[in-house]
Chain A
Amino acid sequence: MSLDDALDVLAAALLLSGAMLALAASVGVLRFVDVLSRMHAATKPQVLGILLCLAGAAVRLRDSVDLWMLVLAGAFQLVTAPVSAHLIGRVGYRTRHVRRDRLHVDELAGPDVDD
């Protein structure tokens, strides 16, 4: 097996595992019980899934000028995903889209919350 073949196999493995994580993330968005839980699925496996796909594409493209664009896409993903998750989570909490029966403690609510 030549080096090129080995790299192609590596690229395929990265792309496939990235796609699997993205699939699991979307299943999580569907299945989790409230907005806050769904944001977990929409951040962690989703971000790593995209990073793996980008890495796979980078290995496949090797020495193309577009490689740097993949690096940028990954960097911005890491910077922006937590911010959007934070904002959506905050809005979700404030508009009471929280399943309180599925919470063990809620230290943001304070002791004298009515529900």
Chain B
Amino acid sequence: MSTPRRRLPAGLHVVPLLWLTTVWVLLWGTWSLGNVLNGLLLSAVVLLLLPLPDVGFGGRVSPRGLLAFVGHFVADLILSSVQVAWQAVRPGEQDISSVVAVRLRSESELLMTMTAEALTLVPGSIVIELDARSRTLYAHVLSAPDDASVEAFRRQVLDLEARVVRAVGRPEDRALLLRPSGAA
């Protein structure tokens, strides 16, 4: 499968237009011509009246990277759900938590956002603060009673970031993965 490079034109963006049209058609449930045309028209009106800031994607979707990311994500989601559910119902006190700072390597706000979003749904953490200027992410880790688990969490975040960048990052974002990072 080839990976076409998508350049978005100014004004009406193709990807949000197609996404909104898809949502509209899915809500109606049938792929009739009328639904698609109405969806396109409505999406265009919405995008023109409520313009969104350009997030500067300009990246390249790598099918293999995306597959690896989604696979890990689903496995992590199931694992973390069971872990949190068990912590909730088991007898006794809750584990000691930590608020951990992790310095990310990518500079793109989109990649940092995607990393933070995915991180909230995978084992043990929710993001409470994201400082884009210093590329630092602060997360609450539910079960982190010692320094070893804090370090393990940092490594886990950096691995997740690497998977996000390999899935949708630009070549220059990939190059940034090589620079040393970790503790903020």
Residue positions of A touching B, CB distance < 8 A:
20-21, 24-25, 27-28, 31-33, 36-37, 39-41, 43-45, 47-49, 65-69, 71-72, 78-79, 81-83, 85-86, 89-90, 92-93, 98, 102-109
Contact = CB atoms under 8 A, between A and B. Distances in A.
B126 interface: yes
B127 interface: yes
Nearest to A26: B88
B121 interface: yes
A86 B81 CA distance: 17
Contacts of A105: 98-100, 144, 147, 150
Interface residues of B, number: 46
Interface stretch (B26-34, B53-61, B170-178): B26-34
B85 interface: yes
A71 B86 CA distance: 27
Interface stretch (B7-15, B43-51, B89-97, B155-163): B89-97
A64 B23 CA distance: 17
A109 B129 CA distance: 12
A79 B120 CA distance: 11
Contacts of A108: 99, 101, 128-129, 138
Contacts of A107: 98-101, 138, 184
A82 B116 contact: yes
Contacts of A45: 81-82, 84-85, 88
Contacts of B98: 103-107
Given A37-B142, A104-B150, A107-B138, A85 B126 contact: yes
A44 B80 contact: yes
19 contacts: A40-B124, A40-B140, A43-B121, A44-B121, A48-B78, A49-B81, A72-B23, A78-B121, A79-B117, A82-B127, A85-B126, A92-B128, A104-B97, A104-B146, A105-B100, A105-B147, A106-B98, A107-B101, A107-B138
Contacts of B96: 102-104
A15 to B, nearest CB: 16
Contacts of A86: 116, 120, 126-128
Chain A interface helix/strand/loop/mixed: helix
A62 B97 CA distance: 43
Contacts of B120: 43, 81-82, 85-86
A71 B26 contact: yes
A48 B81 contact: yes
A36 B30 CA distance: 42
A88 to B, nearest CB: 9
Nearest to A40: B142
Contacts of A104: 96-98, 144-147, 150
B87 interface: yes
